[in-house]
Structure 1
Amino acid sequence: MRNSTTRRSLLKKTLAGLGCAAVMLLSPLSLQIALAAEAEKDELKFGFIKLTDMAPLAIAYEKGFFEDEGLYVTLEAQANWKVLLDRVIDGELDGAHMLSGQPIGATIGFGTKAEVVTAFTMDLNGNAITVSNAVWEEMKQHVPMEGGKPVHPIKADALRPVIDKINAGGKSFNLGMVFPVSTHNYELRYWLAAGGIHPGYYAPHKGDISGQIDAKALLSVTPPPQMPATMEAGTIHGYSVGEPWNQAAVFKGIGVPVVADYAIRKNMSEKVFGVSKSWAEANPETHKRVVKALIRAGQWLDADNNANRQEAVEILSRPEYVGADAQVIANSMTGTFEFEKGDKRETPDFNVFFRYHATYPYYSDAVWYLTQMRRWGQIAEAKPDNWYLEMAKKVYLPAIYREAAAELVAEGKFAASDFPPADDDGFRAPLTDTIDGVPYDGRKPNAYLEQFEIGLKGDTQI
């Protein structure tokens, strides 16, 4: 446990006992920190799931960034994403490492209905899709090869004949993903559909939340740490998950990651730091300070071309955080990723924590998740373009992020150029780097949906 006496609290105690002349000897920054508005709440409990992309929380704690903001934080691993969300909503947790789709899904009322917001994106990318050894052996027959190695990215076209064969034998092809509104679910569906494999629809208005209507491949929820063992047991043929659970399959010799999510659609929000709207409204100063600490953690993780990643791996491997073997975590966190055993490739952007303005809460990321909810039936009816933006603005709070960033710049910790320009409208440039070549422009969600052969669009319903 870190020493919880902070520079700010020491300064304030010092000020209380100093005369005016002595106060004048303090530097402007020290004086600014000492006289800053009080945090509404300085003892905080944050939740996380044991995945490597919880790293900003661990680093903000271990490096004293929370303490620099006068915050005494406890980090607590949660059993699963639903428990984590429920505890944030109920106030048992002050905030948490969340799936990017969780605050959005809660706000629109898919699953648990609640007002959950975010002012900070924890990372970009970070996931992969893994299949069992048996499935991979059959897939390989349909994958282009070069120099004896598969040509990446591997498309789901190579999986389709494998699924057709299993389905023809009267069996189902089963895949695991971590949660209905998870990035992993939407990425897996996107990849399958791009290869002509229908991943199924949801129909909550009809009481069907299985997500398996019309599906050629059956997707179901499996907790991340259980995925390798569930696949090894034959219950599922593969899964979509974050690290270290894809690399765990490689190290155990039970499966092969076939595609990383940055090859499906690159540099989009993967996890966010979520809080309840009521908590954010009651604790604005505290919220801003949390975001400041997390921004510093993100920057530390990406600094000097990932120079700090090995130290981050050591921290994350501890049982109180991810608790996986350091070598397994390092396989993806340090700029490489191993696909088939021995096929390790350079992937410096597999995890991004600060580059490309990764920490900024872009509306366009929120809109993408909403389009996927509509595409697969979690949003049952057509919505106009302005509805997507309205929902994004309910959930994503860039004003809080900008306030935090401005203070970090004023304190000399960052340059203004480290953050999006003041006139940024919250939309990234249209994304063209996708596995199916379909471009994404967050300003035109309905036009985006119209481009897909598989999936709901326009007025179509289930």
Structure 2
Amino acid sequence: MHHSTVRRSLLKKTLAGLGCALLLSPLSLQIAHAADPEKEELKLGFIKLTDMAPLAIAYEKGFFEDEGLYVTLEAQANWKVLLDRVITGELDGAHMLAGQPLGATIGFGTKAEVVTAFSMDLNGNGITMSNAVWEEMKKHVPMADGKPVHPIKADALKPVIEQYKAKGKPFNLGMVFPVSTHNYELRYWLAAGGINPGYYAPAKGDITGTLNADALLSVTPPPQMPATLEAGTISGYSVGEPWNQAAVFKGIGVPVITDYEIWKNNPEKVLGVSKAWADANPETHKRLVKALIRAGMWLDANGNANRKEAVEILSRPEYVGADAKVIANSMTGTFEYEKGDKREVPDFNVFFRYNATYPYYSDAIWYLTQMRRWGQIGEAKPDSWYLDIAKQVYLPAVYQSAASELVAEGKAKAEDFPASSEEGFRAPSNEFIDGLTYDGRKPNEYINQFKIGLKPDSVL
């Protein structure tokens, strides 16, 4: 019998035992007036990555059950299977790449209406190169006190790729999915160093993303990244933890940069549900968000004091199933680059700080700008289109409703959350590896700044 089923039967017996005493209590009067969840038993999907942590913590700490939800968590084979199962209703929701609800809504790949009311985390990814590539890169990386100066730019990789070209060899890199943060971060980093990662041309039937590419990017599921690198099929990859640190532990590769250094405090995963499910289950949806907000708060509480316990939970086979030491390498505020070069990165994984859980329209719009930049959106779009799509997919009203209930219940403070007057835009930021400024209200102006990439009105 599954944990949640066991807990549920115990809870029902306890309530039955309390009987009339509960019915007469003030608490019961509040419960009677509160809307019941439309659906109590839920199945949520995830991929075996450190940043599925809010789901594991909400389950293990009883936050789902506090909301009257009985959840089964189920690992999925890959991002496509996970998305398809949310769309068909086999899963009620899932840990998703932030680009997945957006990609589905605009019809890149699978066409379906998928929404999110909860951003799961900030940061959490890295780019790893094979030992052989790193040895060549290192010749072009500034050093201080015998160690590489960070952040390491893709400028150091460019001569390596030119060597491959001169020998007529392709330079292959892995990323996890065409609409993943990892794809856009890897492309962003490469392009900032003068390397063209290639274009998508769906109108021409070319969805490989390798048109005019200096480096060929292809999909590899996260847990398979280290083995694919070791086999020599790829020369590097962009992935979430623990699969960069796994390369360090295995001695097969070197993480050269974290996404925190590419775009400081970038949004990473979301809780994705189908629009049909959200429309049919508004109370359940709000309660899910409440439980996950509490999990995010727990994960970041008291300067990450709970992270060691979180590492132990995540290392279990039903969750990430990686060695606790590997998970702890990034999850507890450090990150190891070259073997032995461990540095403090307190915000490598952020689950609540900096309004990490709020579904900002500007976060959605950034992903859409990169889809346009690389040809996944094949034609010019006005600024208004970007905001319209963001509003179709991101549901801050659901989040605000969940947050206000947590405040009313004394489980959170009002100052923990963005103001109710929040319009859905983070302040413009230039904390990117190339120093360009992103303002979510001006997507076309942003796209126009890039030296490599389609311009707002380009057509392939």
2:118/2:359 contact within 8 Å kept: yes
2:333/2:347 contact within 8 Å kept: yes
User: Of 246, 249, 252, which aligns to 1:251?
Assistant: 249
Counterpart AA for 1:344: K
Counterpart AA for 2:238: S
Q: Distance in 1 between matches of 2:220 and 2:97?
A: 15
Q: Does 1:4 align with 2:7?
A: yes
Aligned CA RMSD, in angstroms, stands at 1.6
Paired position in structure 2 for 1:239 = 237
Q: Distance in 1 between matches of 2:127 and 2:357?
A: 24
Paired position in structure 1 for 2:448 = 450
Structure 1 position 423, deviation (Å) = 1.0
2:170/2:215 contact within 8 Å kept: yes
**Cα pair distance change 1:310/1:207, threshold 3 Å:** same
Structure 1 position 9, deviation (Å) = 6.1
Counterpart AA for 1:101: G
Counterpart AA for 2:20: G
Paired position in structure 2 for 1:319 = 317
Paired position in structure 1 for 2:96 = 98
Counterpart AA for 1:419: F
Structure 1 position 458, deviation (Å) = 2.2
Counterpart AA for 1:4: R
Q: How many corresponding residue pairs?
A: 457
Paired position in structure 1 for 2:423 = 425
Q: Does 1:134 align with 2:132?
A: yes
Structure 1 position 450, deviation (Å) = 0.8
2:117/2:359 contact within 8 Å kept: yes
**Cα pair distance change 1:340/1:387, threshold 3 Å:** same
Cα deviations across residues 200-221 of structure 1 (Å, max 9, x unaligned)?
A: 0000111000000000000000
Q: Distance in 2 between matches of 1:101 and 1:57?
A: 19
1:198/1:216 contact within 8 Å kept: yes
User: Of 188, 203, 206, which aligns to 1:205?
Assistant: 203
Counterparts of residues 55-454 of structure 1 (less than 5 Å): 55-454=53-452
Structure 1 position 457, deviation (Å) = 1.4
Cα deviations across residues 389-447 of structure 1 (Å, max 9, x unaligned)?
A: 00000000000001100100000011110000011110001111110001111010000
1:12/1:35 contact within 8 Å kept: no
Q: Distance in 2 between matches of 1:72 and 1:155?
A: 46
Structure 1 position 267, deviation (Å) = 1.2
Cα deviations across residues 265-323 of structure 1 (Å, max 9, x unaligned)?
A: 11121000000000000000000000000000000000001000000000000000000
Give the secondary structure class of the aligned counterpart of 1:390: helix
Give the secondary structure class of the aligned counterpart of 1:4: helix
1:8/1:70 contact within 8 Å kept: no
Counterpart AA for 1:367: I
Paired position in structure 1 for 2:20 = 17
Give the secondary structure class of the aligned counterpart of 1:96: strand
Q: Distance in 1 between matches of 2:447 and 2:12?
A: 52
**Cα pair distance change 1:321/1:419, threshold 3 Å:** same
1:203/1:209 contact within 8 Å kept: yes
Name whichever of 328-337 and 265-274 sits farther off.
265-274
Q: Distance in 2 between matches of 1:144 and 1:431?
A: 26
Structure 1 position 15, deviation (Å) = 8.6
Counterpart AA for 1:105: G
Give the secondary structure class of the aligned counterpart of 1:46: strand
2:431/2:437 contact within 8 Å kept: yes
Structure 1 position 343, deviation (Å) = 0.4
Paired position in structure 1 for 2:26 = 26
Q: Distance in 1 between matches of 2:7 and 2:31?
A: 17
Q: Distance in 1 between matches of 2:17 and 2:402?
A: 25
Please, which runs of 5 or more residues in structure 2 have no aligned partner?
A: none
Q: Distance in 1 between matches of 2:322 and 2:19?
A: 47
TM-score by length of 2: 0.97
1:199/1:219 contact within 8 Å kept: yes
Structure 1 position 371, deviation (Å) = 0.2
Cα deviations across residues 136-177 of structure 1 (Å, max 9, x unaligned)?
A: 000000000011111100000000000000111000000000
1:12/1:34 contact within 8 Å kept: no
Structure 1 position 11, deviation (Å) = 9.0
Counterpart AA for 2:435: G
Cα deviations across residues 333-360 of structure 1 (Å, max 9, x unaligned)?
A: 0000000000000001000000001000
Structure 1 position 7, deviation (Å) = 10
2:128/2:244 contact within 8 Å kept: yes
Q: Distance in 2 between matches of 1:393 and 1:192?
A: 30
**Cα pair distance change 1:15/1:210, threshold 3 Å:** same
Cα deviations across residues 205-260 of structure 1 (Å, max 9, x unaligned)?
A: 11000000000000000111111111111110000000000000000000000000
Structure 1 position 32, deviation (Å) = 2.3
Structure 1 position 4, deviation (Å) = 2.3
Calculate percent identity across the aligned residue pairs.
77
Counterpart AA for 1:171: K
1:175/1:238 contact within 8 Å kept: yes
1:438/1:451 contact within 8 Å kept: yes
Please, which runs of 5 or more residues in structure 1 have no aligned partner?
A: none
Q: Distance in 2 between matches of 1:352 and 1:336?
A: 13
2:126/2:256 contact within 8 Å kept: yes
Structure 1 position 64, deviation (Å) = 0.2
User: Of 38, 50, 53, which aligns to 1:52?
Assistant: 50
